Chains A and B, each alone.
Chain A
Amino acid sequence: MVRTDDNILEMRRITKTFPGVAALQDVTLAVRRGEIHAICGENGAGKSTLMKVLSGVYPSGSYDGEILLDGEPVHFRGIRDSESRGIVIIHQELALVPYLSIAENIFLGNEQRGTGGLIDWNRTNAEAAKLLASVGLAENPVTPVVQLGVGKQQLVEIAKAISKKVRLLILDEPTAALNDVDSAHLLDLMRRLRDEGITCIMISHKLNEITSIADSTTVLRDGRTVERLEMAAGEVTQERIIRGMVGRDLNSFYPDRVSTPGEEVLRIENWSVRHPTQDRMVVDGASLNVRAGEVVGIAGLMGAGRTELAMSVFGRSYGRDITGRLFVHGREVRARTVAEAIRHGIAYATEDRKRFGLNLIEDIRRNISAAGLRRLARLGWVHDNEEIKVAEASRRDMNIKAPSVMSVVGKLSGGNQQKVVLSKWLFTDPDVLILDEPTRGIDVGAKFEIYTIINRLVAAGKAVIIISSELPELLGMCDRIYTLSAGRITGQVPVAEATQEKLMELMAKDKESVG
């Protein structure tokens, strides 16, 4: 059983700053030997940063504070250091090599050598088989990893961790991509590992899992430790955790707007999308609508299917087997390509502007015209002075801080890049804008500017859908908020009735309770 004061790990007063941002401030974390410890907090609360400090990704010296392992201070300079002391982290994006076998993956970098330094394949596969048995995975060790589902790949990662003589196993959102059966299996395995003496730290958004499995929980908010909750004392309830996670003031950060919704602009009915490669539904029978002059929010945890929903609506740019009906201005339309979606007045500004939103090696002018180039062209010829005029107008209206519209977009700050993305979509003259994490990675001042721009658009009669992980942002900006969980709409709340607690509850709802 758990001994009360035998801490395997203590992190004391950890402070980690990035240029301009304090990601962690005086964070304390204590984990007892042989327990399952959950860390929870909103996106951006500092969970992953804390784990990177612990595992040496941010080397000793790049942060303040001290780490005690088994009561003695440690200074990890890299991930190899922490692994040699038995700390293994399993990231949300699994780090397996797809076309190598299970056994090869398990012993990658730690190959089982025989005589003459050659790899001893018999021993490799036999050892791998033993490890697989210990995590309850009935697969042949020579099977390529690519043939396994995500759940089984996770088990391979855990087997790999065990092969490294893990004492402290850190799992980052282990069940985010898993279905219910695989999740249940994984949680069982974690309990078994705990009973075998392996301490687990689990980062999770799923509060029902935390309450069912964790022995204790640390709640982080805005880079600080809020509290440590003990399961044994009956403290860990979902309501209690939510209060800790969101208990911050809604600062008067959001510009005021008078809401006067008009006619419906966009509606989807019974929208379903299958994952492009795996056999599971990413969006499952979702219905929602948005009116002119209205801001509608979509709240959901990571992996709930928010981006997938938006991109599938936007010219079917995500997923397969898309079913459901799409209405624009009350008329059913088929938008099978992005070009068609744009023509129907839909715009989608991606959550990852560097990868999907901008041509970083090109200048502001050509990024702004990229989606609406035909508006500047006659018979295929681009009127390039008109293009400059349009870009200059955007630069002025959006307050894009750059020496000229010929400046390369890759050199702009995140906020200014986001303004270029917005300019690009506004130039297509859309009726409805879907903004996916419109303020991600943007500093506070630029956020306010983006919010002001959104309000201006809405006042001009545009319909806006905001997808955001930051609940205060949704509460501050939206008229209505839909919650999405595991691909299903689990609620629709007018902003007057919405609280973070209520939304979080709806977002964490699983399929069964939705009915």
Chain B
Amino acid sequence: MTSTRPSSVEKKPAESATAAALHVGTSDPRTLIMNNLRQSGIFVALVVIVALFAFLTDGLSLSPGNITNIVLQYSYILVLAIGMVIVIIGGHIDLSVGSVVALTGAVAAVVVVRHGQPWWVGVLAALVVGLAVGAWHGFWVAYVGIPAFIVTLAGMLLFRGLTLRVLDNVSLSPFPAEYNKIAAGFLNGLIGGDGYDAFTLLIGGIAVAGYVVSCFRTRAARVRYQQPVESFALFVARMALVGAVVMWFAWQLAHARGLPIVLIILAALVLVYGLLTRRTVFGRQVYAIGGNLSAAMLSGVKVRTVNFWIFVNMGFLSAIAGIIFSSRSNGAQPAAGNMFELDAIAAAFIGGAAVTGGVGTVVGAMVGGLIMAVMSNGMQLMGVDQSLQSVVKGLVLLVAVAFDVYNKRRAGASR
């Protein structure tokens, strides 16, 4: 009786309202927020959490010194979250990244500290090891067909063990100053400034200018292709808001120690991977595989190849996180990176990635990671007990995903 299945879907008034909003270019913020609840929800959550901790710590959490600290302390989690959200969009998971962070850091330490090679040789060695680990995972997941959960669970044990062997069970430190600068260094004083760093402000200004130009170009292209755009007032308001936040952020950094090098690395990665996921054939195919594997296969997507590179990429980003972490802690420890995978996975899910795959964004994962970072940092400032911090973080993850599931069910019900 397949042919009498009731398949025609009635259009609900709500849907046509959405349609009208899209075409006319509404400025009603309520409509816009409701339309993009999934995306805007986490931004709202981030703002609320930042405000909450600013209040609870009497503004200490927003002080120049603390802002700098947050960047330095959580950058490697954010780097991992970029790779993790891509893995999750593809419908997989990676439990091994903490061990890989440890292994790559250890390899760099052995090369640089024990063998006295220059810092960049250590960086290269770590990247090569990261890529090799990614290829190992990718091989088992894509070509042998073992679920990523199992492959990376094995990898978690395997690479932790290898870390211990590489380090002979002892910590290696210290790194030479150049290596240490990667995560602990700042670019400042290049063009002077009185009581603040003018260079940091300049970079902030360039970033805002770049953002504005790209917004205008996107808008112009959409108009040229007769696509709906938001009203001009809202468009300007949005750019002004983003610009203000970025400049305030730069201002705070400029009044502390200047522009952290690791922030430049992170910003470059977010930019590149944001484009990679949205604008490249590879990125699209990741979404296609996660959304409907069979349909992707029957559309000519080379599923195995794509899955393989997803994991190679995760290995690469784990190596970068490993370099940043070892550089920041100025040495390699056997227990480095423990539980990092869980923070990265939490960041991706809080940022709106779907457990079933096919949904998620790099920007979302960054916001998710920042939510975790601001919370941890705020609770540390308040002197909250470690055990309680863990409880709070766990609950936030659960609530975030529950909210997402609830949202989806509501969207499903209105079909």
Contacts and interface: CB of A to CB of B under 8 A. Distances in A.
Interface of A: 18-21, 23, 43-44, 46-49, 223, 314-315, 317, 337-339, 341-342, 348, 350, 355-362, 366, 369-371, 373-374, 377, 380-382, 384-385, 388-389, 392, 403-404, 406-407, 410-415, 424, 440-443, 469-470
Contacts of B4: 18, 21, 23, 44, 46, 49, 223
B221 interface: yes
A19 B257 CA distance: 67
B333 to A, nearest CB: 39
A499 B298 CA distance: 34
B298 A338 contact: yes
Contacts, number: 144
A23 B3 CA distance: 10
23 contacts: A18-B5, A21-B6, A23-B4, A315-B300, A337-B300, A338-B300, A350-B298, A358-B295, A359-B291, A360-B292, A370-B284, A370-B299, A371-B299, A374-B281, A382-B279, A382-B281, A389-B225, A404-B22, A404-B23, A411-B415, A413-B9, A414-B8, A441-B7
* Closest A-B pairs by Cβ, 9 of them: A403-B19, A414-B7, A359-B291, A44-B3, A371-B299, A339-B300, A18-B6, A413-B8, A48-B1
Nearest to A222: B4
Interface in B339-383: 354, 358-359
B15 interface: yes
Given A317-B298, A373-B285, 4 more contacts: A44-B3, A341-B300, A358-B292, A441-B7
B295 A470 contact: no
B279 A470 contact: no
Contacts of B299: 338, 370-371, 424
Contacts of A361: 291, 354, 358-359
A410 B8 CA distance: 11
B305 to A, nearest CB: 10
B220 to A, nearest CB: 10
Interface in B1-39: 1-9, 15-16, 18-19, 22-23
Contact of B284 (A18, A339, A382): A382
Interface in B267-323: 278-282, 284-285, 287-288, 291-292, 294-302
Nearest to A408: B411
Nearest to A404: B22
Given A49-B1, A403-B18, A373 B281 contact: yes
B281 A380 contact: yes
Main secondary structure of the interface of B (DSSP, over half): helix
A441 B5 contact: yes
A360 B287 CA distance: 12
B224 interface: yes
Contacts of B287: 359, 362, 366
A307 to B, nearest CB: 12
A359 B300 contact: no
A82 B243 CA distance: 68
Contacts of B300: 315, 337-339, 341-342, 371
A356 B294 contact: yes
A359 B284 contact: no
Nearest to B278: A384
A20 B8 contact: yes
B284 A366 contact: yes
Contact of A359 (B3, B22, B280, B296): B296
B302 A337 contact: yes
A21 B228 CA distance: 37
A425 B359 CA distance: 24
B227 interface: yes
B63 to A, nearest CB: 41
B114 interface: no
